[in-house]
Amino acid sequence: MNGRHILFAVASGALLPVIAFLVIILWMGFWQGNPGEPVVYTLAHYRAILTDYFTYKTMLNTLGVSSISVAVSLIFAIPTAWLVERTDLPGKSWVFTLMAVSTLVPTFFTAMGWVFLLHPRIGIVNKLLMSWFGLEAAPLNIASIAGMGWVEGLGLSSLGFIMVVATYRTMDPALEEAGRVHGLKMWKTLRYVTLPLTFPGVLAAAIYIFTIGLSAFEVPAIIGMSNKIFTFSTFIFYKMQPLEELPSYGVAGAVSSLLIVLALLLSWWYFKVLRFASRYAVVTGKGYRPQLVELGPRGRLCAWLFLGFFFVVAKVLPFLLLVWAALLTYFQPPSLEALGQVSLRNFYGLPWELLLAGARNSLVIMLTVPTLTLILCMAISWVILRSGFKWRLAFDGVAFLPHAVPSIILAIAAVFAALFLLRDTVPLYGTLTILILVYTISRISFATRIINNSLAQIHPELEEAAFAGGLRVFQVIRKILLPLLKPALVYAWLWMALLCYRELTMASVLVTNQNNVTLPMIVWGLWLGGSLNKAAAANLVILVFMLPAVLLYMTFGRRSRFEEAM
Amino acid sequence: MISVAGVQKHFKSGGQTVAALKGIDLEVLKGEFFVLLGPSGSGKTTLLRCIAGLEKPDRGNIAFEGETVFSASPRVYIPPEERQIGMVFQSYAIWPHMTVAENIGLVLTHGQRRIAKSDVNKRIRHVLGLVQLDNFENRPARLLSGGQQQRVALARALATNPKFLLMDEPLSNLDARLREEVRGKIKKLAAELGITVLYVTHDQVEAMVLAHRIAVMSQGEILQIGNPFELYRAPKNSLVAEFFGSINWVHGKLLDQHRVETEIGPLVVESYNGHTGPVVVGIRPEDIKLAASSTGGENRLEGKVLSSAFLGDQVIAEVKINETTLTVKAMPDDQKRVGEISVHFPKERIVVFPASAPVREAELQ
């Protein structure tokens, strides 16, 4: 067995579980039984969900939240991208940095902040509005489809920004200039040239964001579940871990299967639009940058107000609310009286033993998952781009699946496999190992894409020269490819480490005990248990733990890489 | 007429300020085909973009037929859409989401120089006819070949009957054969329409074929303006001389107005009004004459052919005189293949520059 065979084996070994997970989910939907009992196959689950009014309501909720989140994120993303790419706004690199860091702020974090702001019972804004205008009922309700879409959209707007910026950047600026020099005024050029040309790119971004919204878990879990508003992901979660009845794996499997079909269709559409968009992309060899629109002092002020409003609403306000909540034993709007009750009691009262266990587990995950993923994806990328293997496109396709399939479904498949298939052979259920494995699989798409992009820019002759010089494939990888790929790998490692740290969706299904508890799960546990203020305090604690990694990321993760990854 | 006076432009890149234009003065006459020629980074495209209004100079004035379109102080800036120009971009900038007719029609229906709705189709057909793209109206733009896109770009630029046509390396993305063909057509069309053309290129052959006058640019400055013949035969400095074809440089010392003592021997030159002292003497390879036997006389030196290459229409020979090797282009039958030879330097073909002239600098580039 030579090096090439080993690379093939590693790549296949990494991708087989992906296919296995999909098969398991489909199978789950037809399956009925309990551990150790004989299995019965049935269509009952599909019949149950398709005849249940609740399924349709959940679907409407999900579509509503996703659509609103697309609208909200693009309303912020498109003007911001235009300001950064086409105007002389000063301090653009700061906008990029803030956007990158915003993406790292856990969504459950901002979701909690918004509950404190707009919850009908405790939300500060509602209380203020009620007292000012003498209202009987709360005018705003975050625990609604619109509210969840708003919070989700704010969280996804930095992603939307990055994608829209990319569309602007790949567009030949001469296309706009050709309009200007031939007599089109700026807004006409915008209307007839810029907008139609960026439309496919923006549509692709919208589909991408919609797909993410469709399977989003954190916002519905923090805001919706306690108010009995379910989306697909929380519905699946609820079927896996109901409070009163037994888990209903069959129903979860059936709903997941439907969701997978929907997600794959959306991904297909996404790629179709993206291919169409790439027809418009022109890479010019020109050394000049497009002439930037001069904003002038008033335009600049408006731009900063707009950006400031966005960052305050999306990040600063929720953060301040969490800090305020963390300092109080029960939540109340700021007042002199409330100020007198400020204390660190919540922090003393936190389950520190559990937090330390969670910190230890999270640290292990942050170190192992990115490393393992990069090793596997190096092999996958090599097969896709360098092996000349006939089925390499199949590898590419399978490597994309973990991105298309909602991550909660990957976790469910893993739990099901651990409970019913591997129970007697490999005890994985409730271990830290199963978290590491599922996290790794879920990151395959991202890492493969990053490595593919970088590897495609390395001329194969660099490796061929080494082969000609007598080096073997692993030596070539170690001596030639790894050094050349190093910046991309370091970046991808840090990014994945941070995403693993804040991961809640898969953990919500996979974490079952203190041995594999993670920090976000502890926060969520406190939240679900009704200790909102303690949850806020715990949130601040895990944010502090996260800071060193974020600083590392900001040092190494340059702006260009961040865009490439999206 | 386009008048450019004292135009300066600086770019900031990576914290450093780079001077792209260091004070440009230029007049393009009505109906003239004027070429800006220079290597990449010489500022020629920046100058064109300043004239188009796509870039704002830091200093100076630009006027179209006496009407100021840009002035640094007092501040005047007419945006590109208000200037009477048509422009062909290097990338052609054909809008890929439209048909050929829509590419031209958008300008005619929504531009600042729009025409009556009823005339639009006629005008589109007319300009497409000018570039020999009849019946291409409904072709989607992204299905056009490079050459066709180039012609649509030209048609669009001409659609509004602009006074000035600006072209930014319009042929550089075409393959060599097509380039020659299109070059001829552009020249003919410009002459027929009598339009004033400002044309940017880095290709000196293209410039010489097309231009009435050429401005040679280097590092943000204009080195010389003149017609092709003047630039070739009477370059003002060694950079211009080198830009138009190859040239042999020989170091020497100016003795008086007509005599130079050089590394290869004494040479007589046409009157040179410089200070006596170190100079460089230049002569183009095709201007050096070879003869089998010496007849003696002015500027005839003894040399030795080191090697020669037969190229069919000409012979390239390396000729050594004293310790200096010169390149000579000779007719295929007027030389000895290798060995002793007589070399003639016609004095009217010799150019002389002070030795401080940037010969070395040019070599370094």
Chain A: give the shortest CA distance to residue B76, in Å: 15
Q: Which of B92, B107, B142 has the CB atom closest to A182's CB atom? A: B107
Contact present, A410 and A217 (Cβ < 8 Å): no
Residue corresponding to tokens 């975050």: A142
Across the interface, whether the CB atoms of B112 and A184 are under 8 A apart is answered yes
Both ends of chain A: CA-CA distance in Å?
A: 37
Nearest to B97 among A178, A196, A284 (CB): A196
**In sequence order, which residues have a C-beta less than 8 Å from that of residue A415 and are 6 or more positions away?**
A240, A429, A434, A509, A510
CB pair distance less than 8 Å for B89 and A184: no
Q: Is B45's Cβ below 8 Å from some Cβ in A? A: yes
- pLDDT of amino acid A44: 85
* Distance in angstroms (rounded) separating the CA atoms of residues B75 and B58: 11
**Element of type H or E holding B25:** strand B16-28
A93 interaction partners in chain B (CB closer than 8 Å): none
Give me the amino acid identity at B62.
I
Does pLDDT of B335 surpass 70? no
- Of A403, A502, A488, A487, which Cα lies nearest the Cα of A443? A403
Distance of CA A276 to the CA centre of its chain: 25
Pairing of strands B324-330, B85-88: unpaired
DSSP calls for B95-123: -TTSBHHHHHHHHHHHSTT---HHHHHHH
pLDDT at A390: 81
Residues of A in contact with B80 (CB under 8 A): 177, 180-181
Of B92, B112, B166, the CB nearest to A185: B112
Q: How far is A466 from chain B (nearest CA, A)?
A: 34
CB count within 10 Å of CB B301 equals: 18
What digits encode the pLDDT tens for the residues B302-315?
888 888 888 888 88
Task: DSSP letter for B202, please.
Answer: S
Q: Which two tokens stand for residue B6?
A: 């004292």
B41 contacts on A by Cβ (under 8 Å): 287
Question: Across residues B119-144, what is the average pLDDT?
Answer: 91
Residue B326 β-bridge partners: B319
At B276 the pLDDT is: 76
Q: In the prediction, which pLDDT does A52 show?
A: 86
| Contact (CB, 8 A) for A196 and B97 | yes
Q: Is B114 on the interface with A (CB under 8 A)?
A: yes
Q: Could you give the CA distance from residue A342 to residue B97 in angstroms, rounded to a whole number?
A: 60
What amino acid occupies position A383? V
CB contact (8 A) between residue B107 and residue A183: yes
- CA–CA separation, A229 and A62 (whole Å): 10
Q: Residue B43: its chain A contacts at CB < 8 A? A: none
Size of interface A-B (CB pairs under 8 A): 97
In the prediction, which pLDDT does B296 show? Answer: 73
Residue range B152-163, pLDDT digits in tens = 999 999 999 999
Single pTM value for the model: 0.81
pLDDT of residue A286: 47
Asked whether the beta carbons of B190 and B111 are under 8 A apart, the reply is no
Residue range B86-104: mean pLDDT, rounded: 90
Tokens of A256: 């997941």
Cis preceding-peptide flag for A520 (omega within 30 of 0): no
Specify the pLDDT at position B307. Answer: 87
Chain A positions in Cβ-Cβ contact with residue B159 (cut-off 8 Å): 182
CA distance B348 to B333: 24
Q: Do B93 and A279 touch (CB under 8 A)?
A: no
Task: Tell whether B183 lies on the interface with A, counting CB pairs under 8 A.
Answer: no
In our burial notation (b when 16+ CB lie closer than 10 A, e otherwise), range A458-475 reads: eeeeebeebeeeebebee
Looking at residue A151, its pLDDT comes to 94
State the average pLDDT over residues B247-274: 87
Distance from CA of B110 to the nearest CA of A (A): 6
Angle CA(A53)–CA(A59)–CA(A65) in degrees, nearest 5? 135
**Nearest residue of A to residue B112 by CA position?**
A183
Write out the residues of chain A at the interface with chain B, using a CB-CB cutoff of 8 A.
172, 174-175, 177-186, 188, 192-193, 196-197, 279-280, 282, 284, 286-288, 291
For an interface test with A, give the residue of B110, B112, B142 to mutate (most A CBs within 10 A): B110
B146 touches chain A (CB under 8 A): no
Q: Given A179, A186, A282, which is nearest B91 (Cβ)?
A: A282
Give yes or no for B158 touching A (CB within 8 A).
Answer: no
Is the ipTM above a cut-off of 0.85? Answer: no
Residue B364 has what pLDDT?
39
Whether the Cβ atoms of residue A79 and residue A306 lie closer than 8 Å to each other: yes
How far, in Å, CA of A536 to CA of A526, rounded? 9
* Residue A345, pLDDT score: 85
Distance CA A216, CA A539 (A): 20
User: Is A72 within 8 Å of A184 (Cβ atoms)?
Assistant: no
Given CA atoms A102, A103, A109, A114 in this order, what sign does their dihedral have?
A: positive
- Neighbouring C-alpha atoms within 13 Å toward the C-beta of A135: 14
A530 C-beta neighbours (distance < 10 Å), count: 10
pLDDT at B190: 93
The answer to whether the Cβ–Cβ distance between A197 and B52 falls below 8 Å is no
To test the contact with chain A by mutation, choose from B64, B70, B112 the residue with the greatest count of A C-beta atoms within 10 A, namely: B112
Q: Does residue B81 sit at the A interface (CB-CB below 8 Å)?
A: yes
Containing A281, the helix (H) or strand (E) segment is none
Pick the residue from chain A with its C-alpha nearest to B97.
A197
Distance from the Cα of B91 to chain A's closest Cα (Å) equals: 7
Distance from CA of A206 to the nearest CA of B (A): 20
Q: Name the residue type at position A90.
A: P
> Which domains does chain B possess?
2-238 (3.40.50.300), 246-364 (2.40.50.100)
B333 CB-near residues (< 8 Å, 6+ apart): none
* Pairwise CB contact (< 8 Å): A182 & B156: yes
Closest CA in chain B for residue A176 = B93
pLDDT at position A57 is 92
CB–CB of B107 and A184 under 8 A?
yes
Residue of A nearest to B52 (CA): A181
* DSSP per position, B149-177: HHHHHHHHHHHT--SEEEEESTTTTS-HH
How far B97 CA lies from chain A's nearest CA (Å)?
7
Domains of chain A, first to last: 1-42+347-566 (1.10.3720.10), 57-343 (1.10.3720.10)
Interchain contact, B93 vs A185, CB within 8 Å: no
Backbone dihedral angles phi then psi of residue B300, each to the nearest 5 degrees: -110, 120
Cross-chain CB nearest to A175 (options B80, B87, B95): B95
Ramachandran quadrant class, A123 (left: phi over 0; alpha: psi -120 to 50; beta: rest) = beta
Q: What is the tens place of the pLDDT at every residue in B314-328?
A: 889 999 998 899 999
Q: Is the pLDDT of residue B362 over 70?
A: no
| Contact at CB, B81 and A286, closer than 8 angstroms | no
- A-chain residues within 8 Å CB-CB of B166? 181
Q: Tens digit of pLDDT per residue, chain A (566 long)?
A: 678 889 999 999 999 999 999 999 998 888 887 666 777 788 888 888 888 898 899 999 999 999 999 999 999 999 999 898 888 888 888 888 888 888 888 889 899 999 999 888 888 888 888 888 888 888 888 889 999 999 999 999 988 998 888 888 878 888 888 998 899 988 898 899 988 888 988 999 999 999 999 889 999 999 988 888 999 999 989 888 877 777 888 888 899 999 999 999 999 999 888 888 777 765 544 445 666 778 888 989 999 999 999 999 888 999 999 999 999 888 888 877 888 888 888 888 888 999 999 999 999 999 999 999 999 999 999 999 988 788 888 998 899 999 888 899 999 999 888 888 887 788 888 889 999 999 999 999 999 988 998 898 888 888 888 888 778 888 888 888 898 898 889 888 988 998 899 899 999 989 988 888 999 999 999 998 888 889 999 999 988 888 888 888 877 765 445 454 44
Separation of alpha carbons B285 and B248, rounded Å: 7
Query: Which tokens go with A322?
Result: 């969490």
User: Which residue of A lies nearest to B114 if distances are taken between CA atoms?
Assistant: A183
Helix/strand/coil (H/E/C) assignment for every residue in B29-86:
CCCCEEEEECCCCCCHHHHHHHHHCCCCCCEEEEEECCEEEEECCCCEECCHHHCCEE
Measured in angstroms, the CA of A56 and the nearest CA of chain B are apart by 39
Check CB contact under 8 Å for A192 and B46: no
